[in-house]
Amino acid sequence: MTPEIKEYKRDIIIEVTANLMFPLILLFGLYIMIGTGGTGGGFQGGTILAAAFIFYITVFGHEKGREKMPESVNALFKSLGLFLYNGAGWICVLFSLAGAQWLNMPAFWPVTDYVGVAGARSFLVGYMVSVGIGLTVMAAFVSQYFDLAWKEDEEMEGGE
């Protein structure tokens, strides 16, 4: 029994709208993710970034979506996020020559010279920790969506 193959119909309105919206949603996700003054954070911003990619894949199909987000880049982001967070902890240990504790943020001396102790904490939290969380969350969501959107016939072609 062969399932009916529906012809893929392009819709110019949806495609143009998606092309317009995709970078804007990414920008909004970054705005939510970076910095400490806003209402968001890493988890929320990462989810919005993932929503942008899922939107793109839904409109253009997963083959074109793969070009936007290749599997290698996805795997890189997934682990890079955790490494950024752990790196924020390691920076504090390394720059204080193992005098400070793990994630003891005021010990980040190149930054404390310029912006002070409180500014160093804010810098690490806003630009390393939040971005790290966001990258991991985004890559996890997108990879799950790719896995679920994979079709049977393509599995036969590409498998093994």
Partner 1 sequence: MIPRQIKTLTLFGLITAILLTAVSIYAIEDLPAFGDENSAVNKHIKLFSVDAAGLVDSLNAGILPAEIKNKTEEMGFIKGPTCPGCQNENYPTLEDGNYKIEYIPQGTWMGGRFYTDGGWDVSILEGEIFYNEFQQYYFIKESEGKLIVYRYNWPVRVSERTEEETAMINSVTSGLADYRGYDTMGEETVILTGAIGVILLVRRRGRL
User: Which stretches of the chain bind partner 1, using CB under 8 A?
Assistant: 36-39, 41-42, 71-72, 75, 78-79, 81-82, 85-86, 89-90, 101-103, 105, 115-116, 118-119, 121-122, 125-126, 129-130, 132-133, 136-137, 139-140, 143-144, 147-148, 150, 155, 158-160
Tell me the closest approach of the beta carbon of residue 68 to partner 1, in angstroms: 17
Tell me the closest approach of the beta carbon of residue 76 to partner 1, in angstroms: 12
Tell me the closest approach of the beta carbon of residue 14 to partner 1, in angstroms: 27
Pick between residue 21 and residue 106 the one whose CB is nearest to partner 1.
106
Pick between residue 13 and residue 98 the one whose CB is nearest to partner 1.
98
Pick between residue 58 and residue 74 the one whose CB is nearest to partner 1.
74
The rounded distance, in Å, linking the Cα atoms of 96 and 73 is 33
The rounded distance, in Å, linking the Cα atoms of 38 and 59 is 31
The rounded distance, in Å, linking the Cα atoms of 36 and 70 is 30
The rounded distance, in Å, linking the Cα atoms of 43 and 105 is 21
Q: How many CB atoms lie within 10 A of CB 95?
A: 17
Pick between residue 28 and residue 38 the one whose CB is nearest to partner 1.
38
Tell me the closest approach of the beta carbon of residue 17 to partner 1, in angstroms: 29
The rounded distance, in Å, linking the Cα atoms of 34 and 23 is 16
- Give whole-number Cα distances, 15 to 48, 55, 112, in Å: 20, 11, 48
Pick between residue 21 and residue 89 the one whose CB is nearest to partner 1.
89
**Hey, what are 81's tokens?**
């996020």
